[in-house]
C-alpha cells in the first residue's frame, strides 16, 4: 500500500499511475524471499513488514543474534570459509588466487580440494526463550497447543518447549484465553 494525499492505494495501482517502478513492485510482491512458520512462501514486502513489526514490538529474530567464531589459521588443519580468507588476505581479489603459508599461490578450486577452504559451514542458531504470550502473539503456538521452534520449525508440547529453552517458564503472566 502507498499513501497518496491521505488515501491508500495498492502497489499495482501505484504502478499504473506511474508512482512506483513496475520492476520494483514485482520484486516486492513476488513470493520466494522467505517462508513463514507453516512453510508458505513470503514476498519481500511481507518479509520487510514482519521485520518492521518485530522491531517495533521489541522482538528480535534469532538471525540477528548469531555469533560465529572462527580460528585464524592458514593451514589445511584449520580451514576457513572464503569470506574469512579474503579478510585475512589469503585470497588475492584481483587474480582470484589463494596464498598458502609458504607464499605460493594456488587456484581457489585447488584450495578447496586441499582443504584450505571449506565450502559449507554449519552454524547453530541459539535464540532467547520467549514467554508464552509472546510465542502466542507471534503465531508460534497452533490451535492444538503445539509450539513451533522459530529457527527449525520443529513442534513441541509445552513441557518439551520449556526443556528446549523455547519458552521461558520464569515469566509470570496472565493471558486472556478468549483472545487466543
Q: Is the pLDDT of residue 72 over 70?
A: no
Better-predicted residue by pLDDT, 157 or 37: 157
Please name which of 63, 68, 66 lies closest in space to residue 121, comparing C-alpha atoms: 68
Name 69's Cβ contacts closer than 8 Å, sequence gap at least 6.
none
Q: In the chain, where are the structural domains located?
A: 1-58, 69-122, 126-180
Residue 167 DSSP SS3? strand
How much is the mean pLDDT over the chain? 76
The answer to whether residue 71 scores a pLDDT higher than 80 is no
CA distance readout (Å), 129 to 152, 160, 162 = 14, 13, 8
Question: With contact defined as beta carbons under 8 Å apart, do 150 and 126 qualify?
Answer: no
Amino acid at each position: 500500500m502507498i499513501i497518496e494525499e491521505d488515501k491508500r492505494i495498492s502497489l499495482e495501482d501505484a504502478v499504473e499511475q506511474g508512482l512506483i517502478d513496475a520492476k520494483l513492485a514485482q520484486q516486492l510482491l513476488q513470493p520466494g524471499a522467505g517462508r513463514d512458520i507453516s512453510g508458505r512462501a513470503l514476498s519481500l514486502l511481507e518479509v520487510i513488514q514482519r521485520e518492521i513489526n518485530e522491531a517495533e514490538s521489541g522482538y528480535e529474530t534469532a538471525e540477528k543474534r548469531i555469533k560465529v567464531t572462527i580460528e585464524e589459521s592458514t593451514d589445511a588443519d584449520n580451514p576457513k570459509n572464503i569470506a574469512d580468507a579474503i579478510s585475512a588476505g589469503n585470497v588475492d581479489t584481483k587474480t582470484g588466487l589463494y596464498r598458502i603459508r609458504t607464499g605460493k599461490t594456488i587456484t581457489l578450486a585447488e584450495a578447496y580440494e586441499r582443504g584450505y577452504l571449506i565450502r559449507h559451514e554449519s552454524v547453530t542458531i541459539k535464540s532467547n526463550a520467549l514467554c508464552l504470550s509472546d510465542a502466542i502473539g507471534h503465531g508460534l503456538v497452533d490451535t492444538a497447543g503445539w509450539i513451533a521452534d522459530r529457527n527449525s520449525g520443529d513442534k513441541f508440547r509445552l513441557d518439551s518447549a520449556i526443556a528446549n529453552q523455547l519458552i521461558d517458564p520464569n515469566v509470570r503472566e496472565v493471558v486472556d484465553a478468549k483472545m487466543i
